[in-house]
């Protein structure tokens, strides 16, 4: 299995470690450039700063090949800033620095909607398809999903709020499974999308 982690900015090492713990040592390629993207069978897009990652997608010329591979069916697990970058609509907050998404998930998100860093929190998440205890959701300056359109399916909730959506093999989470020590979501994603 050849898995990729988009390695432009953010919690790249934690994604790599989580995927390697599920799929085995050596299974992960860090993706900094188009040639690396071309080799992977699935990709995770870590959290970080979506404006920065958006800019780096252009500087590295990864944006167009990434869009093409996603349209061709590449499984993607996008978390937090990663989800923002795949949202059809990002509600504009102040300033000209909104990230530019590859708009494949039919959702509207609002960045930093739970507050600042000190308002980050942990809470139990109900995930369709996971058995056992609720998933420990770690929310760090998380976006809020304001709308789920017909082109996306909600599959994870924290209370009444949708915190996970997917369209086929493209999954987006507002929280950070790589920081929870619970590997079930990575496992479930790989199992469901690559079988
Ligand atoms: N607040 C960040 C953004 O808007 C996302 C935070 C995260 O990925 N943990 O890009």
DSSP letter (8 states) at residue 80: T
Structure tokens at 9: 């900015």
The three-point CA angle 195-10-159 to 5° equals 65
Residue that has been written with the tokens 């599920």 in this structure: 22
Q: In angstroms, rounded to a whole number, what is the distance separating the alpha carbons of residues 177 and 134?
A: 12
pLDDT-derived band at 54 (thresholds 50, 70, 90) equals very high
Instruction: Calculate what percentage of the chain has a pLDDT beyond 90.
Output: 91
Active site residue 80: yes
Task: Give the separation between CA 86 and CA 156, rounded to whole angstroms.
Answer: 17
Query: Domain-by-domain residue ranges, the chain?
Result: 3-194
**Ligand 1 pocket test target in 55, 77, 80, 95 with most atoms within 8 Å of CB:** 80
Q: Average pLDDT for residues 164-173, to the nearest whole number?
A: 98
Summarize pLDDT for 24-50 with one digit per residue, the tens.
999 999 999 999 999 999 999 999 999
Query: For ligand 1, is residue 3 a contact (CB within 6 Å)?
Result: no
Distance CA 171, CA 61 (A): 23
CATH of domain 3-194: 3.40.50.880
User: Is this structure's pTM higher than 0.75?
Assistant: yes
List the catalytic residue out of 14, 15, 49, 178.
178
The predicted pLDDT at position 93 comes to 72
């Amino acid at each position: 299995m050849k898995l990729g982690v988009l390695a432009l900015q953010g919690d790249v090492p934690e994604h790599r470690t989580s995927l390697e713990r599920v799929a085995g040592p050596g299974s992960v390629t860090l993706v900094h450039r188009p040639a690396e993207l071309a080799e992977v069978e699935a990709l995770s897009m870590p959290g970080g700063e979506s404006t920065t990652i958006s800019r780096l997608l252009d500087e590295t010329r990864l944006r167009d090949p990434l869009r093409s591979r996603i349209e061709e069916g590449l499984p993607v697990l996008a978390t937090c800033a990663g989800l923002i970058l795949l949202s059809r609509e990002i509600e504009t907050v102040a300033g000209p620095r909104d990230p530019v998404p590859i708009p494949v998930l039919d959702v509207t998100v609002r960045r930093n909607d739970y507050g600042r860093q000190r308002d980050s929190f942990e809470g139990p998440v109900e995930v369709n398809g996971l058995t056992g205890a609720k998933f420990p959701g770690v929310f760090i300056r998380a976006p809020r999903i304001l709308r789920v359109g017909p082109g996306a399916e909600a599959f994870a909730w924290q209370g009444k709020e949708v915190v996970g959506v997917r369209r086929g093999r493209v999954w987006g989470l507002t929280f950070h499974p790589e920081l929870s020590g619970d590997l079930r979501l990575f496992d479930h994603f790989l199992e469901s999308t690559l079988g």
